[in-house]
Chains A and B, each alone.
Chain A
Amino acid sequence: MKTQQELMSVSRAAELIKAGKYLSIAGDEAALRQLPPGHWIGGTIPYFMAAGGGVVSREQVFVSVVSGFAAPPQLRFYDAGSLPQICRNAPDNGYSILIIPAFSATHAGFAQNAPNFEEMYMKPLIGWVAGVHLDDLGKVTPKVVLGSTGEFSESDAVVMDVPLPPEKFAQIDIVNLFRPGSGAAIRFENNGFSAGDCRIDGQAGNLADYLVDKQIDTRLPLVADYSGALINVSIRNIDRTARCVEFYAPVFAGIEYRVAAPVADYVAAFHNALPDGGTDITFSCNCILNFLHSQLEGKRTGEVTGPMTFGEIGYQLLNQTLVYLNVTE
């Protein structure tokens, strides 16, 4: 399978659509609305890691060409009620690309419940959370697009199920530059997008107080070790009055978190952590927080490109993480 991902003009993307290609497309809403109907799904975001480096563009779109499938991929919307069926409905051998609009009920439901979806982790599920230009926050809503009908949605998720021939299999992996720091072990009583009271090194405590008292850089996520996979939860805001911390993804009860150790040079660390050059990446995306905090505009992060998103999906919702999919035989 050839990897075909690149930032391109709307007119070039339209040519690919008209040629009957199956595509996953990221772009600003105005750009996506110029595209013709066809075999594509899309989501809104104007931030990209292109071959030449980090880019903010409202005019261009980032296109991932899907090929090498055993049968035509299936494209559809899922609402919050039907999304738990996504893995069950996925092809037995293949993968699914999922795009969810940020701040929607579908986003919240997926974030909190994806690990318990039927057949989760049994079939590869990759994707991202659609967003907006940060200047437009609160003015326009993130959206996804079902290209076959041209319909945009700010509430439903859109999915492309890609069946693969029996000799091929898809594999998802992540690159997370953050490691647990040497600070306290933090545990929560409940799952949620916010937390205050918690256990800090086994003692009753409050996360907001802890972060303020220790003067912790809130650009650093909480990191948990999932049997060797380091999974981040990014900090969105500290409400000192309410003594509460809001997150970009939920924390889960029963999981131990630590504040990440600082990353001195993101670009250098990223180069060191990237998969080897022989890895044939079919789809990838990275986090807008990495783009912003590490000031990646104009900087290259190796050969791995893709949209810089409001959340990454590698089976479940991830934060500040590069996610990629490759197909091998």
Chain B
Amino acid sequence: MKLEELLHHTLAIHAPWRIVRVRNDLGKNQIDIWVSREAQRSGWFFAARSAVDQGRESVWRHINIGNARCLVHAVIPSAAESADLQWLGEDDQPFTRAFARQIASMFMQGVSFASVCALLDLPVADLWKFKHRLDSGKSGLSGSGSTPDANSAQVPAAGDPIWEDLLSGSLQLDIRILSLKLLLTKLREQFAMISDGEVRALKAHELQRYFTRHEKMLGHELAQLVRN
């Protein structure tokens, strides 16, 4: 099997669809591929491109290539043509069908939300959007697994209710750090719209991660947390 065929096979991309372009410089540990209907040719690196698909290009996160993220760029074909394509996603979805199935199967195996993010190198925000789309018409995704919280002498654990108090606004802090002011405003807006307990816990985890990461410069804010 040629390397090119191996990549097509691994990513579930079959004729008449082909990878017409590959870039590995758009993000750290990330491979971007462009898929199009195109005549057979010897290789994608040196052949001139002759895109035949017309329309707006969409981008989806696909199943990882080893430890690298894989992003698929393509124009969505007609409904009939796209029905069984696993490397394709829906117009308003962040993931390809294959990747969505992989995530769903991990949840079904009891892998926690945070662990899915860690194992698949997946941004919390993307999984959050995905879950909310599922919530609007499908079942929940609660898992029984757990992820260890970052250890810190000063910063409360991610499961501490103080984070949700901060996010709900029931606990107010005098904040001196610009990035925390901006982050907390964003998270509070999101938190106000979330009813799902697990997703609320994720937001708390995100805030706790910020505090852990910036502990050195958050003395003023952490002192207030400790007093509560």
Contact = CB atoms under 8 A, between A and B. Distances in A.
Interface of A: 81-82, 85, 88-89, 115-116, 118, 120-122, 124, 169, 171-174, 226-229, 254-255, 314-316, 328
Given A116-B125, A121-B210, A254-B189, A85 B27 contact: yes
A115 B186 contact: yes
Given A171-B217, A174-B178, A227 B28 contact: no
Listed residue (B28, B186, B210, B213) with the most chain A CB atoms within 10 angstroms of its CB: B186
- Of B26, B175, B182, B183, most buried by chain A (CB within 10 Å of CB) is B182
Contacts of A81: 26, 59
7 contacts: A85-B30, A88-B28, A122-B210, A169-B214, A169-B216, A227-B184, A255-B189
A172 B26 contact: no
Contacts of B59: 81
A227 B185 contact: yes
Contact of B185 (A85, A88, A226): A226
A118 B69 CA distance: 14
B181 interface: yes
B177 interface: yes
Interface string B177-199: 11111111110110000000000
Given A171-B217, A228-B175, A316 B26 contact: no
Contacts of B185: 226-227, 229, 255
A82 B186 CA distance: 22
Interface residues of B, number: 27
Contacts of B213: 122
Nearest to B23: A82
A169 B28 contact: no
A89 B27 contact: yes
Contacts of B178: 171-174, 229, 314-315
A278 to B, nearest CB: 16
A85 B181 contact: no
Contacts of B140: none
B174 interface: yes
Given A121-B210, A169-B217, A171-B217, A82 B182 contact: no
Given A88-B28, A122-B210, A171-B217, A229 B174 contact: no
Contact of B174 (A172, A226, A228): A228
Interface of B: 26-28, 30, 59, 123, 125, 174-175, 177-186, 188-189, 209-210, 213-214, 216-217
A176 to B, nearest CB: 11
B129 to A, nearest CB: 10
Which among A81, A85, A172 has the greatest number of chain B C-beta atoms within 10 A?
A81
B182 A121 contact: yes
Contacts of A228: 174-175, 181
Contacts of A88: 27-28
Contacts of B26: 81-82, 85
B201 to A, nearest CB: 19
Nearest to A171: B217
Contact of A226 (B30, B181, B210, B214): B181
A171 B216 CA distance: 11
Contacts of A169: 214, 216-217
A144 B179 CA distance: 26
Given A171-B217, A227-B182, 12 more contacts: A85-B26, A120-B183, A121-B180, A122-B209, A122-B213, A173-B178, A226-B182, A227-B180, A227-B188, A228-B175, A228-B181, A254-B189
Please give me the 9 A-B residue pairs with the lowest Cβ-Cβ distance, nearest first: A229-B181, A85-B27, A121-B183, A226-B185, A227-B181, A82-B26, A121-B179, A118-B123, A227-B184
Nearest to A254: B189
Given A172-B179, A227-B175, A89 B28 contact: yes
Nearest to B183: A121
Nearest to B192: A254
A116 B186 CA distance: 9
B185 to A, nearest CB: 4
A171 B177 contact: yes
A166 to B, nearest CB: 10
